[in-house]
Homo-oligomer: A and B are copies of this chain.
Amino acid sequence: MYRSNTCGELRLADVGKMVTLCGWLQKSRDLGGMTFIDLRDRFGLTQLAFNMETNAAVCEQARKLGREYVLQVKGLVKERESKNQQMPTGEIEIIVDEIVILNEAILPPFTIEDNTDGGDDLRMKYRYLDIRRNPVRNNLLLRHQVAKQTRAYLDNQNFVEVETPVLIKSTPEGARDFVVPSRMNPGQFYALPQSPQTFKQLLMVGGIDRYYQIVKCFRDEDLRADRQPEFTQIDCEMSFVEQEDVLNMFEGLVKHLFAMVKSIEIPQVPRMSYADAMKYYGSDKPDTRFEMKFVELNSPEADLVSGKGFKVFEDAELVVGICAKNAAHYTRKQLDELTDFIKRPQIGATGLVYARVNEDGSIKSSVDKFYDEAALAEWAKAFGAEPNDLILILAGGADKTRKALNELRLEMGTRLDLRDASVYSCLWVTDFPLLEFIEEDGRYFAMHHPFTAPKPEDIKLLEEGKLGEIRANAYDLVINGVEVGGGSVRIFNKQLQAKMFEVLGFSKEEAQVQFGFLMNAFEYGAPPHAGIAFGFDRLCSLFGGENSIRDFIAFPKNNSGRDVMIDAPAAIDNKQLNELGIAIKNV
């Protein structure tokens, strides 16, 4: 035993005890007669005191120690004269008798403080030092808690944790696979799983009934800002259930996690159809921490824009806006900023119309010359706008305008402080389309994956070839505008599964080669089943109140998929390549 106590546990009640602590030197202050050191370990900080008068030798030794030295100290716990109520151990200090330098340390490339001076690149390269900082360590501890509470809930609900294989088979559907050349089977490759989808379905065929796993998945995609080539899922599947059962079960999980990890009681999670989410928020993952719903001004039922000579609105497929409460004070400059925002190429709207409801109820709009006070009053009524509210309107093609207005809504939410990271709003989005048409490929793709079941009442549309109209028994859990989880009821009928593959453009042979084992399995008695998967890294970052997942992963990779700490990937030697029967092509 190197220590009798950790640096986080000593209190007034321990005064008078001889203790041995170990840790890193966080900070030292030499006040002449006295030297103080803050000793740090995972559990906290403890102040060490050295007195030049009573123990000059040890005090001299203490003065020479550098930051991040690893120390073992023995001494007496004493009540502090000037207590620090900010620190759990702030009422005591250790009068040190003996120091052992367990390891020296050179100067770290950045400060080991909550707010470090290290940039992202430096922090990634020296991740082992970054982990010493409270914010990063606390994120890892939070992640542990989320995993632990996830297991506690699911164990309690009779789910069985089953490990599925990592070395599996490549499938051309979906994102790109990482592959692994097989030395024992020359010319052949394993693939790393993008998800354990087929295996969990096979476990249902195998009668496991309720399965879960917190599992690494892999996707060889061009990395966007916050994607990782390896990521972690909470992966679940249940037998003999309908969509309603799955939603209830996992609403229970989410409530449990919020209660246990964040001490927050989440109310019943509301549900919204995909169609409504698109209509009212222009997004299948609306941030429902704030309302600001879309209002359409040129719907056939209530056209409030036509016949006034404003061609932009009259020609538009969709005229739609939002009402920002208490934002009528927005200046010309602020409105110009918003116009610039929605005109950015990523958003691509062409212009922004506003209407301010003044304190006296009068309305001032950028399109006054087309719409008189009475017309504007009708708008205000449609938006439920009150004095001091600001109406913002976009027009154009329906899909594009909804997307642009979604961005504008989120921007206004941010500007008006409606998106507090410590407030959580959960939402089930349901009834997703089964298939989506991808223009550049000229065919339909599965919106979730090819095993998702259509709604029973929509199966006839499959026969009728109305592929775009079929709704799926598929659902996403959205928290604060982030898609945290998603899943579906699965097809468990072999004929329907075969039909799906046909619709997705697989020949019978291709379907057999790729998914034959699953279709065969369905011949032997598949139960009705459904499941869900949660993005675990993302869930942890939400619980941590941060946007980036990277600091919730112990050793993340950068945007080029590199681990800059260990310098991977790297060249391998020719002997390895030869054994694997592969060669590197000139690139």
Contacts and interface: CB of A to CB of B under 8 A. Distances in A.
A16 interface: no
B128 A561 contact: no
Contact of A128 (B151, B176, B189, B202): B202
Nearest to A172: B573
Interface in A213-251: 216, 218, 220, 222-223, 229-230, 232, 239-242, 244-245
B563 A205 contact: no
Contacts of A202: 127-128, 555, 565
Contact of A189 (B106, B220, B571): B571
A566 B229 CA distance: 24
Contacts of A245: 1
A181 B184 contact: no
Contact of A170 (B132, B151, B199, B572): B572
A572 to B, nearest CB: 5
A110 to B, nearest CB: 11
Interface stretch (A159-167, A278-286, A336-344, A424-432): A159-167
Interface in A307-356: none
A106 to B, nearest CB: 5
A209 B524 contact: no
B42 A165 contact: no
Interface stretch (A79-87, A401-409, A579-587): A579-587
A587 B183 CA distance: 11
B528 A492 contact: no
Given A105-B523, A105-B524, A190-B569, A561 B184 contact: yes
Interface residues of A, number: 127
A68 interface: yes
A207 B127 CA distance: 12
Contacts of A130: 206
A161 B148 contact: yes
Nearest to A162: B554
Contacts of A572: 170, 179, 189, 191
Contacts of A143: 162-163
Contacts of A172: 573
Contacts of A555: 164-165, 199, 202
A375 B281 CA distance: 98
A43 B239 CA distance: 13
A141 B206 CA distance: 13
A517 B584 contact: no
Contact of A587 (B178, B561, B581): B581
Given A169-B568, A568-B167, A568-B168, A103 B160 contact: no
Given A179-B181, A245-B1, A563 B163 contact: no
A111 interface: no
Contact of A566 (B137, B168, B206, B232): B168
A549 to B, nearest CB: 12
B166 A144 contact: no
A587 B43 CA distance: 57
A169 B570 CA distance: 7
Contact of A42 (B161, B209, B220): B209
A450 interface: no
B524 A129 contact: yes
A209 B179 contact: no
A197 B79 CA distance: 42
15 contacts: A2-B240, A22-B240, A106-B523, A132-B206, A143-B162, A163-B216, A164-B555, A166-B166, A166-B230, A167-B218, A167-B229, A179-B576, A185-B561, A189-B570, A199-B555
Interface of A: 1-3, 22, 24, 40-43, 68-70, 72, 102-106, 108, 126-132, 137, 140-141, 143-144, 147-148, 151, 155, 160-170, 172, 176-192, 198-199, 202-203, 205-210, 216, 218, 220, 222-223, 229-230, 232, 239-242, 244-245, 492-493, 516-517, 521-528, 553-555, 557, 560-563, 565-573, 576, 578-585, 587
